[in-house]
Amino acid sequence: MDTVVIIGGGPSGMMAAIAASQNNKVILVEKNEKLGKKLYITGKGRCNITNSKEISEFFDFIPGNPHFLYIALYTFTNEDTMNFFKNLGVTLKVERGDRVFPESDKASDIINAFYNELEHRKVDIRLNSAVKEIIIENDKIIGIELSNTTKVFGDHFILCTGGLSYPLTGSTGDGFKFAKIMGHKVITPLPALIPIVTI
């Protein structure tokens, strides 16, 4: 059985861990003291998980190059997202604008559902574990070194660190740094959803 190491314990990291755990041993590394820290504040603490509109309507609301997301949106649809959480025991509701929330209006219910499934699948969760270095040998990632000098080795690595949107929640752009180290070209990120300051 292979070992999959996932860097980042936000929603993408947790979903990746659940998917990978079907056939692998999974280690989920998160630098914060808890998983899904940013999820707690999404949708004003209610966690707007998706929208129930037809996927074809999504593209009208995506700035820039919406067709870049075509394959992603049709491979794992909003219906798949809703069914994923329903299968984890979360009851959902649809509100104005076709926004989908947990019926309880609590983001914590989404996070607890993730936690329960990760525990059920015996995912090794390492909190307070910031990645200090990517260990590469012969042009292949073989491990990571954490800030406490612990080394974690694996067969496969998935980078799920998010962007640079909210440093207080851990979104500090670590993934861009790691991607560069691994030889990827990184385009300088630009802000999208930002506050407007008037003087």
The pLDDT, as a whole number, for residue 164 is 82
pLDDT greater than 90 at residue 190: no
Q: Is residue 102 a contact partner of residue 46, using CB atoms and an 8 Å limit?
A: yes
Which residues lie below 8 Å from residue 40, measured CB to CB, with a gap of 6+? Answer: 107, 108, 111
Residue type, 78: N
Closest-CA residue to 159 (of 171, 174, 139, 137): 174
The whole-angstrom separation of Cα 114 and Cα 34 is 12
Q: What is the mean pLDDT of the chain?
A: 93
pLDDT in tens, 90-101: 999 999 999 999
The pLDDT of 12-32, averaged and rounded, is 97
48 pLDDT band, cuts 50/70/90, is: very high
pLDDT digit string (tens) for 60-90? 888 888 889 999 999 999 999 999 999 999 9
pLDDT on residue 79: 97
Strands (E), the chain: 3-7, 25-29, 50-51, 92-95, 99-102, 124-126, 131-137, 140-146, 151-153, 156-159
Tally of CB atoms within 10 A around 89: 11
Cα–Cα distance, 60 to 64 (Å, whole number): 10
Supply φ then ψ for residue 146, to 5 degrees. Answer: -90, 170
* pLDDT digits 0-9 by tens, 109-156: 999 999 999 999 999 999 999 999 999 999 899 999 999 999 999 999
Domains and CATH numbers, the chain: 1-34+109-199 (3.50.50.60), 48-105 (no CATH)
